[in-house]
Amino acid sequence: MALSADQLNEALSVAHDAIRTEIPDQFGQANALFNKLSKKPNLEYVSGGTQIKQPVEIAENQSEGFYDGGFGVIDTSANQQLSFATFDFKYFYHNVSFTLEDFTKTDNTANAVKSLIVAKIEGAKNKATRTLSSAMYGSGSDSNGNALNGFEDIFAASGTAYGGITNTDLDDSSTWLTEIDTSTNTINYANLNEVVRKLVARGQRYGNEIGSYAPDMMVSNSFVQAKFLASQQSNQRFIDSEDLAAGFAGCKFNNINWFVDEYSPGSADGSTADNDLYILSTPTLKMCYKYGFEGKTAPMDFNSRIPNQAIQTNQTFLVGNMVCTARRYNGVFKSLQS
């Protein structure tokens, strides 16, 4: 027999919860970066407000120095060291709808209706995975202002505001910029190591509770990694077995895990110098959220029949944004070719 209205609502409700709890797992299989950001300590709940605010250090303390130990003048002037980077909340939804025609085509069996629900829910999860994976590498400041402030914004060039702060407004403009290489084309150890060693030196043993902002993750498409491995055939080292077991393909570069992600930009044709390689300090990256993770459902999450249509609908919302609190510890190659 067919599912009753109450049974159908119950089945959709279970499916609704399943989408929410399984999306991070789906990302883990498709996107190592999101798998990292969707778990603590990179996942951060934000209670609300008009924007997401993250404290950042914009200048060093100027009131210091050696003095004679006696009556020498000590500088007690105030100087601003901290500010806030501000980010808009971004809103993502995915909807699964079931029409009367859908149910009619499943004949009159409960199992067929359940199979229909499972198939459509699975399709929605996969599409959400692809959309959000791609958005992590995009921009929320261009024509698609509703999208995440992804890597296009984090790795923006000098003179472009990020989080409401423009690097050229600071005394030391380099402190609010990522390391960007647009000239390297050939993918080999010597070329890549120039940026990596600079970031390692900049971020190692920073001294606070985090301990280090040195890069701990690299991400590119499979073309870039394959070219690198080909150049290092006699000296390849692959990532740890537990990462491989989690579904991530990759290798080690100076003991940094390098993961493959096909959403990482690049033509991958060997003739176009547009392939990216990101060198990341993941303690500086966060997924700040209000709804959609750790069981925090949005008040607009919806599971019911649309009153004026023969459609049963299930809607799930995610609210938050991707942020970087210290850009200078991250780097990117933008023009890798072969």
What CATH number is given to the structural domain containing 31? 3.90.1690
* Cα 336 to Cα 219: distance, rounded to the nearest angstrom: 13
Give yes or no for residue 235 having a pLDDT over 70: no
- Residue 24 CB neighbours (<10 A): 16
Average of per-residue pLDDT values in the chain: 80
**Which residues fall within 8 angstroms of residue 14, CB to CB, at 6 or more apart?**
none
In a domain, 70, yes or no: no
In a domain, 145, yes or no: yes
Q: How many percent of the chain have pLDDT more than 70? A: 76
How does pLDDT run across 120-160, given as a tens digit for each residue? 777 777 787 788 888 999 999 877 789 999 999 999 999 99
Cα dist. 322→31, 131, 132, 168, 246 in Å? 14, 14, 11, 23, 23
pLDDT winner (highest mean) among 37-51, 92-106, 153-167, 221-235: 153-167
- Which has more pLDDT, 166 or 113? 166
User: By C-alpha distance, which of 313, 306, 309, 310 is closest to 100?
Assistant: 310
Task: Look at the chain and report how many structural domains it folds into.
Answer: 1
pLDDT winner (highest mean) among 5-9, 152-156, 204-208: 152-156
If pLDDT is split at 50, 70 and 90, which confidence band does 187 have? very high
* Cα 92 to Cα 55: distance, rounded to the nearest angstrom: 25
For 192-209, letters b (16+ CB in 10 Å) and e give beebbeebbebbeebeee
In a domain, 17, yes or no: yes
Give yes or no for residue 246 having a pLDDT over 50: no
Backbone phi, then psi, for 100, in 5-degree steps?
-60, -35
Q: Give the pLDDT confidence score for residue 29 in this predicted structure.
A: 45
In a domain, 325, yes or no: yes
Q: Containing H/E element for 20? A: helix 5-30
Average pLDDT on 64-90 reads 77
If pLDDT is split at 50, 70 and 90, which confidence band does 322 have? very high
Give yes or no for residue 114 having a pLDDT over 70: no
Average pLDDT on 182-192 reads 94
Give yes or no for residue 24 having a pLDDT over 80: no
* Cα 13 to Cα 3: distance, rounded to the nearest angstrom: 14
Give yes or no for residue 184 having a pLDDT over 90: yes
Contact 149, 92 (CB under 8 A): no
In a domain, 74, yes or no: no
If pLDDT is split at 50, 70 and 90, which confidence band does 77 have? low
How does pLDDT run across 26-44, given as a tens digit for each residue? 554 457 777 788 888 899 9
**Residues of the domain holding 114:** 5-59+81-336
**Which residues fall within 8 angstroms of residue 241, CB to CB, at 6 or more apart?**
none
Residues forming beta bridges with residue 165, ordered by sequence position = 162
How does pLDDT run across 255-279, given as a tens digit for each residue? 898 988 888 999 999 999 999 999 9
In a domain, 67, yes or no: no
Q: Give the pLDDT confidence score for residue 183 in this predicted structure.
A: 96
6-20, 278-292, 315-329: segment of lowest average pLDDT: 6-20
Contact 319, 90 (CB under 8 A): yes
If pLDDT is split at 50, 70 and 90, which confidence band does 310 have? confident
* Cα 149 to Cα 139: distance, rounded to the nearest angstrom: 5
Q: Give the pLDDT confidence score for residue 9 in this predicted structure.
A: 57
* Cα 195 to Cα 181: distance, rounded to the nearest angstrom: 8
Q: Give the pLDDT confidence score for residue 86 in this predicted structure.
A: 93
Contact 274, 184 (CB under 8 A): no
In a domain, 12, yes or no: yes
In a domain, 151, yes or no: yes
Contact 302, 246 (CB under 8 A): no
pLDDT winner (highest mean) among 13-27, 199-213, 251-265, 277-291: 277-291
Q: Give the pLDDT confidence score for residue 274 in this predicted structure.
A: 95
